[in-house]
Structure 1
């Protein structure tokens, strides 16, 4: 997985998705944010036992794929990125985050351990 995105857009998407992450969890995977790079852009997803969030933003995808990383750590990194373009890429068992002269690395969490988001209820009707 590899994509390029404006660092401010990335920070906003990660911050919004990270709001649902539990403050503490006995399962580290629940503190993870799932990043999915597709031809349509970037999807950032997070969940806990009661809520889930999925944020979709535009990004230039070089190579599609998925990566699961600790959400609060990624948010801390995003907050200190210089303005401009950021590049994120999976390199082995790590996600590299580069923007300007700044370069960070995050360990990947196992994707198989990440639970699926809860199903949405059926729409019963619209009130206009």
Structure 2
């Protein structure tokens, strides 16, 4: 992706979400080895720091190992960006399913606001 696209301010929530996924992946990738993949340690750090409130105890070695094995489609011991996006898609679907169980007047956590109703999320 050209730098000019990434340097522009996102004009929509989806553009912002895409930029944040890319930036977050690259914030953690490359600290150990290949700069375009996440090692087990990098994945553990990303899950703990960025998804801790959604995933609970991401420091659990067995849990991270299972996620790593499930994601590592090519069995190279690392998670590339495509494999990372598969994880994020699966987590997003799971969160959507969870949120849909609540009535719209109940409050839910979203990344856009501290608290929003389902109706606000749909806007």
Alignment TM-score > 0.5, same fold: no
Alignment TM-score, normalising by the size of structure 2: 0.29
Q: Could you say which structure has the greater relative contact order, defined with CA pairs below 8 angstroms and 6 or more residues apart?
A: 1
Alignment TM-score, normalising by the size of structure 1: 0.28
More helix by share: 2
